[in-house]
Amino acid sequence: YDAMFDVTSNWLNNTRVGLMYRYMLLAPKGATQVAKTILSPFTHVRNFLSATAFAAANGIIPLKDPNAVRDAFKFAGANFKGTRQQQEFYEELLELGVVNSNVRLGDLSRLLEDVKFGETMTSDKGLRLLLKPLSRIKRMSEDLYTAEDDFWKIYTFSQEQKRLADALIKSGIKKGETFTDGAGRTVKFTDDYIKREAADIVKNNVPNYDFVGEVIKGLRKAPIGNFVSFPAEILRTGTNIVRRGLKEINETVVRADGTTAKPFQTIGYTRLFGMGATTVAVPYALTEAFRAL
């Protein structure tokens, strides 16, 4: 994949046909994608509202927990001027791989890098001064687009932590105690374990640009097609949600006293129900409702 990327990059940068393709096709494509995503108010609304589907598909009711909503709103804005506490928590989420991984924005950013968007235009001092305010608007729009995506990832992360901890306590495992999970590993019930388990769920069950294959990412350089990474991530996360739900239903853990339990069974059934409702029931019901109206 790296070799293919290098060959393509060399062709775009060092051949006459490649340069024509880059500036006459990919650059306009990147510009139109900027206009219809981060610079479009309607797309910002859609980006925020559509992300509720990924929480719902994991069996999480959107906006159910007011405290989690408040915290998600507060920490998702850490890209802007946040407090030191907000910045530190956001850095932790970055380290865990929970936030700053918007799939559409990832495709767009890489495409703009491919064509060195604006590099030649801003080589002139006059044009650089003229485009500086527009660059600031673009950067703020990107931050807002990321925050809209991060809000739901932080909310999902919070709810996954809560229900994992509640499930273990309900099954008779107290904080600080150890148990053997379904894979035979000895695990200690700590806040760190819950955080990392919840982060793993968010990374694998919510679209994440870091998990898109290089071949799929490379398709952004095709003359047609927009944001190809997003449908690829829908397939990956949809499969992972079902796989995770089945695992939770069937996983048996062994407590420290030698007795067994299935602490995550209810979460698994809820996750599968959420996936079914989000992909089948809700779209059908909305279609019929609007058709009736």
What pLDDT band is residue 13 in, cutting at 50, 70 and 90?
A: low
Q: Residue 143 and residue 140: Cα distance in Å, rounded?
A: 5
Sorted by sequence, the CB contacts under 8 Å of residue 208 that are 6+ apart come out as 97, 101, 103, 233
- CB < 8 Å & 24+ apart, contacts of 258-267: 259/172, 261/171, 261/172, 261/173, 262/171, 263/167, 263/168, 263/170, 263/171, 263/173, 264/164, 264/167, 266/167, 267/59, 267/163, 267/164, 267/167
Please indicate whether residue 36 or residue 245 has the higher confidence score (pLDDT).
245
pLDDT in tens, 220-274: 777 766 678 888 889 999 999 999 999 999 999 999 999 999 999 999 999 999 9
Start-to-end Cα distance in the chain: 50
65 pLDDT higher than 60: yes
Q: Residue 117 and residue 30: Cα distance in Å, rounded?
A: 8
Q: Distance between alpha carbon 131 and the CA centroid of its chain, in Å? A: 30
Q: What pLDDT, on the 0 to 100 scale, is given for residue 130?
A: 46
Q: Residue 195 and residue 148: Cα distance in Å, rounded?
A: 22
Q: What pLDDT, on the 0 to 100 scale, is given for residue 123?
A: 45
9 pLDDT higher than 60: no
6 pLDDT higher than 80: no
Q: What is the mean pLDDT of the chain?
A: 82
DSSP symbol at 278? I
Which two structure tokens, joined as six digits, stand for 219?
């398709």
Q: What pLDDT, on the 0 to 100 scale, is given for residue 121?
A: 47
CA nearest to 195, candidates 170, 166, 158: 158
Evaluate whether 76 touches 151 at the Cβ level (below 8 Å).
yes
What pLDDT band is residue 126 in, cutting at 50, 70 and 90?
A: very low
What's phi and psi for 266, nearest 5 deg? -65, -40
Evaluate whether 66 touches 149 at the Cβ level (below 8 Å).
no
Element (H, E) at 179: strand 178-180
82 pLDDT higher than 70: no
Which two structure tokens, joined as six digits, stand for 213?
């294959």
Identity of the residue numbered 74: K
What pLDDT band is residue 140 in, cutting at 50, 70 and 90?
A: confident
